[in-house]
Amino acid sequence: MAKRVLLRSAVTAVVSLSLAVGPASWVASADAGTFSETTIPATMRATPGYGSVVSVGPSGFLHTAITTSGPSGLEWTGADGSTRKLEGTQSSDPVELYGAASDVVALPPSGGTGQVLLRNMVTDETTTVTVPAGQVYSRTIGSTVVTQGRAGADVKGTGFHLLSNENGTTVDRRVTGLPEGASVIVNGRAGVHGFLSLLKVPGEDVGQYAWIDLRTAEATSLPYGTVYGNSVVTAVHLVTPQAGGVRIYEQGRFDTPVREVQVSLNDAKVLGVVGDSLIVARYDSSLGQKVQGASIWKVVAVPFDGSGERTLLARAVADRVAVRPDGGVQLVGGQSAEDYGYQDITAGADGVPYAVRVLRIPQVPMRLQRLTLDHGTVRTLEYGDGATFAYDRLLTETAPGYGERGRIGSPPVPYNKCSVGYGLCPELYPTGDGRTVYRGAVSVDGGWQPKLFVVGKGETFPGTPVETGLQDSFYDSPDQMIIVGASKNLVLVEGTPAGGSRELRVVDIDSGKVVHTEPDQVGAIWGTTLWSSAPGGKVTAKDARTGASLTSFTVNTGCSSMVDLQAVGRWLYWKCNFSNAPEAAGVYDLQSRKNIPLPSTAQAYLGDGVVAVWGGQGLGVYGLRTGTAVQRWATDAAGLVALDPRNGDLAYSTLDQAVHVLHTGRPEAALVSPYRNVTARVETDVTPLSWRGEWWLSEPTASWRLEIRHKATGRVVATRSGGPAEYSIATTWDGRDTTGGLLPNGSYTWTLTAQPADGQGAALVQSGTVRLTGGTAVWRDHVGGSALPDGAGDLLTMNSSGWLTFHQGDGAGRFSGSVSASGWSTSVRAVPFGDLNRDRCNDVLVRLSTGALRLYKPVCGAPLKPATSYTTLATSGWNQYDVLTSPGDLTKDGRPDLIARNASTGAVYLYKGTAGGTLAARVKLYDNWKTYKKVVGAGDLNGDGIGDLVAQDTANNLYRYYGKGNGTFAARVRIATGWGITYNAVVGVGDITGDGKGDMVMRDTAGNLYRQTGTGKGTFASRVKIATGWQGYKGLF
């Protein structure tokens, strides 16, 4: 099923639609537009064109033809620099197949038997050598043709023959001295007068090396330890690595080395002996990965006198080196790309080796494999120098319009060499927040297992694999996983779970979890909206995380099956098949609810208000905002294509491997945040910080500011700010104010304001709420919905079975949820008191039937149990009081205080809370308050931070007493008459409505519970019934 979706960051405009759009024909208007174009030239490889040396003679050398893409036959370049092609040759060159160490080039017979044509490339003279029956061609060295006996011939095993042309006749010299019954395993490289061969000798467990001398036609078996698989044949020497260095033998004299050289060969290769030095290639990881044929070796000369190494070539291909008859070597390399080519390494009269370029290999560009454009960053996968790497280049406003090209790693093996010659490179999908996802692979049990990979913002390839829960195969298979699209941290994939049917999955790459699944269908994702299709041209939008339906409509009633969907902001591209008609395609504008026809034969790339179509007519860009597809630009030279959906800029490559960026010049869309991830709660002093907000951006921002306010008061308590941000804004909050001080628990609001970097359009403004816990205790707040206190006042009750229960204020004027503990005597009187011991958890005073008074200190959110930690404040004497209530802080010292009334005298006393967690000696405030039926601590009624009282007299008038902050009260003010005649319980519960003002609850004799919301001005709104059936509680505190 064809699905190609280019998706980035923007808000999806979701509307409620129920209309069908009929088919319409494709008609394009023409408009030249006001486009500008930036051309990013191709980057040249460090190793320009392909080249490999075959053989070297005194007057020239044989090599592969110089091409940009790979080998293409052989050429001879003479000492005068002239080059000519050799017909009948192939670039595949087994060792010395076409000759070695001379100006003679051999053209071997097909099949190995027949005539060998020997051409002197200097004189152009030719001679022939006939390979006799029973022999097969092996190689040519100088003018000597080397053959091997076929099995069953009149020679023992597969021995060697040396053939030459003497006066027009082929002379055959059989090589003697081979071990009895030996057969050839493999032939090694040749020098000027002989070559190395590895033999299989009957009765021996290991191979036996032998030197075949062309002058004497004799074979010399080499002692074990003289030569190994990594030994090197030079023009006249044999070099064998050993621990700490090498041994150098003269060819034909292998009993004793002529020289031993101490040299480190870690990550190194011996190339030869030239003059007074050993020539060594050392791997340089800065030049690339260690792969066959790559120019990743630095060539150095190691003098025999022990002096320091000298660099001859900064980089070279060390996998193919040919010997020169004069003792030098030739290979491909150079000091730089400009100096690159075939290099001779020879020695001067003083024996010092030097390198000289004998044929330049022109520079060729890196080959573009993949191209993306997102948020003004061009990202490519490029093959060259034996490997594929990823590169980024930032577009700029100043000339030349682009910044430096930076390498950002490589895809994982086996894609680290992906190109036309190594299989296709994986498609790259920008997420819109600086990340890229693609289908890579990991090694599993010796094979390759494809995985979804994520390359984070500022990170390098290959990135991190993420599980999708889908089956996948590295080779073509119906079970292959497909990336459909990506938007911020959500990636839409299609595949088959084990034992299941093919389906769509939305993967959150932040959490690594699959957040939603859908039956297999053509889909697209944008922001947090998942678009999917159904037969009949129906398109449905859902919440990508929850699957909740958002909208649906029909784009074309004749559509039998959808082929492609793409979504960008308010635009939805669709393409579908018909049962009895050609394909149709278009862009649906969610804002105008209109369909814009497009050519159906093209591949489409959707942006915000623009679409690029690429097909038989080339690549064209069309504007959409007029309600008609208006062609504004076209080219027939495009290769790879990418569109930046944020601003409609288009990138495409050309045959010369340049990248062209077309700036459409359309108005920038408004700065929006299509998706945000903001935690709902912050707990003070938690490590790591528990509150984090991140807002993804549709375009870069110049600066931003976050304000956090106390919800009830609107007071700014904390701010965060920052400068330019390209993909997202992220910040944290520790739950403290701007000075680092503690804040009260409860609800806070945050507001983010961000200015667009281009100065166009309005600022981004987003807001939300956050619940603070772990701060200072709010009056009457003991428990909360998340176990910890939540900033809302709570009501404490006692039932007839001895259960004390905290009823949680829900912030909306009611109670929801409770925390209880049993085991209490029903005769106790509880007084929610505030945080006296400064542990950020409110305490409770409890008077026992004995008259003792205790301060219970439950941990935050915990029930009040008889076993809860407590301090005994008095062992007796407190039964004299018929009123015990706490209005809050009456003395402005930050500690709760207590009001008590003597039952017999009516005298009212103040007990101040102390720093030691006790109560100070009482202070009389009033002589006789017997006229009051109820005296209630009401908390702060006017917002001055000081506790207040309300009192109901026997005539049912309700009075307010403002605390003055010095432990006394101002004169009373009547705030209601005829109030509370049926009330048998009145409690100041603090703020249960979330507005920061103290409220009051009352129970009448019928068990109805009412709320009167505090106005913040010392009065209360009319009562609201909030519960019934509360007559079962013995006490409300």
Task: Check if the beta carbon of residue 216 is closer than 8 Å to that of residue 251.
Answer: no
- Secondary structure (H, E, C), 451-463: EEEEECCCCCECC
Q: Has residue 31 got a pLDDT over 90?
A: no
Q: What is the DSSP string of 317-377?
A: EEEEEEE-TTS-EEEEEESSSTT-EEEEEEE-TTS-EEEEEEEE----BPEEEEEEEETTE
**pLDDT at 8 exceeding the cut of 60:** no
Output phi, psi for 239, to 5 deg.
-110, 125
d(CA 47, CA 269): 19
Query: In the predicted model, is pLDDT for residue 152 greater than 70?
Result: no
Q: How confident is the model at residue 757 (pLDDT cuts 50, 70, 90)?
A: confident
pLDDT of residue 541: 92
Per-residue pLDDT for 681 more than 90?
no
Under DSSP, is residue 419 helix (H, G, I), strand (E, B) or coil?
strand
* Structure confidence at residue 1016 (pLDDT): 94
Q: Reduce the DSSP state of residue 22 to 3 states and report it.
A: coil
Does 259 score more than 70 pLDDT?
A: yes
Omega cis (within 30) before 700: no
d(CA 19, CA 37): 40
pLDDT tens readout for residues 542-593: 989 989 888 899 998 889 899 999 999 889 999 999 877 778 999 999 888 9
Contact between 853 and 847 under an 8 Å Cβ cutoff? The reply is yes
Instruction: Tell whether the model's pLDDT for residue 17 goes beyond 50.
Output: no
Q: Is 9 exposed, middle or buried (0-12, 13-18, 19+ CB in 10 A)?
A: buried
207-226: average pLDDT? 93
Residue 764 has pLDDT above 50, yes or no: yes
Give the pLDDT confidence of 888-930 residue by residue, as tens digits.
999 999 999 999 999 999 999 999 999 999 999 999 999 999 9
My answer on whether omega of the bond before 414 falls inside 30° of 0, hence cis, is yes
Which CATH class for the 29-41+366-663 domain? mainly beta
The count of other CB atoms within 10 Å of the CB of residue 115 is 13
pLDDT tier at 418 (50, 70, 90 boundaries)? confident
- What tens digit of pLDDT does each residue of 301-311 get? 999 999 999 99
b/e per residue 981-1006 (b: at least 16 CB within 10 A): eebebbbbbbbbbbbbbbbbbbbbee
590 backbone φψ class: left, alpha, beta (φ>0; ψ -120 to 50): alpha
Across the chain, mean pLDDT equals 90
Q: Which of 498, 491, 546 is nearest to 523 (CA)?
A: 491
pLDDT tier, 20 (very low <50, low <70, confident <90, very high otherwise): very low
Location of structure tokens 């060819």? 251
Asked if pLDDT for residue 652 goes beyond 90, the answer is yes
Model-level pTM? 0.60
Strand bridging mode 29-30 / 630-635: parallel
* pLDDT tens digits for range 852-885: 999 999 999 999 999 999 999 999 999 999 999 9
pLDDT bracket for residue 1 (50, 70, 90): very low
CB count within 10 Å of CB 1010 equals 18
Per-residue burial over 158-173, b if 16 or more Cβ lie within 10 Å, else e, is bbbbbbbbeeeebebe
Residue 598: how many other CB atoms lie within 10 Å: 23
Distance, first Cα to last Cα, the chain: 68
Task: Let me know: does 234 contact 327? Beta carbons within 8 Å.
Answer: yes
- What pLDDT was estimated at residue 664? 78
The larger pLDDT score, comparing residue 370 to residue 150, is at 370
In 3-state terms, what secondary structure has residue 168?
Answer: coil
Domain parsing of the chain, residue ranges:
29-41+366-663, 676-773, 794-1036
Question: The dihedral of CA 657, 658, 663, 669: what is its sign?
Answer: positive
Lowest model confidence (mean pLDDT) among 15-29, 79-93, 829-843, 966-980: 15-29
Query: pLDDT over 90 for what percent of the chain?
Result: 70
Residue by residue, DSSP assigns 924-985 as EEES--TTEEEEEEEE-SSSSSS-EEEEEETT--EEEE-B-SSS-BPPPEEEESS--TTEEE
Distance between CA atoms of residues 573 and 147, nearest Å: 68
Report in angstroms the alpha-carbon separations of 779 from 380, 746, 776, 804, 963: 60, 11, 10, 18, 15
- Exposure string for 549-579, b = 16+ CB within 10 A, e = fewer: ebbbbbbbeebebbbbbbbbbbbbbbbbbbe
Written as one string, the DSSP assignment of 496-531 is --TTS--EEEEEETTTTEEEEEEES--EEEETTEEE
Fold of 794-1036: Tachylectin-2; Chain A (2.115.10)
Q: How many helices (H) and strands (E) does the chain have?
A: 0, 83
Burial of 892 (C-beta count, 10 Å sphere; 0-12/13-18/19+): middle
CATH architecture under which domain 676-773 falls: Sandwich (2.60)
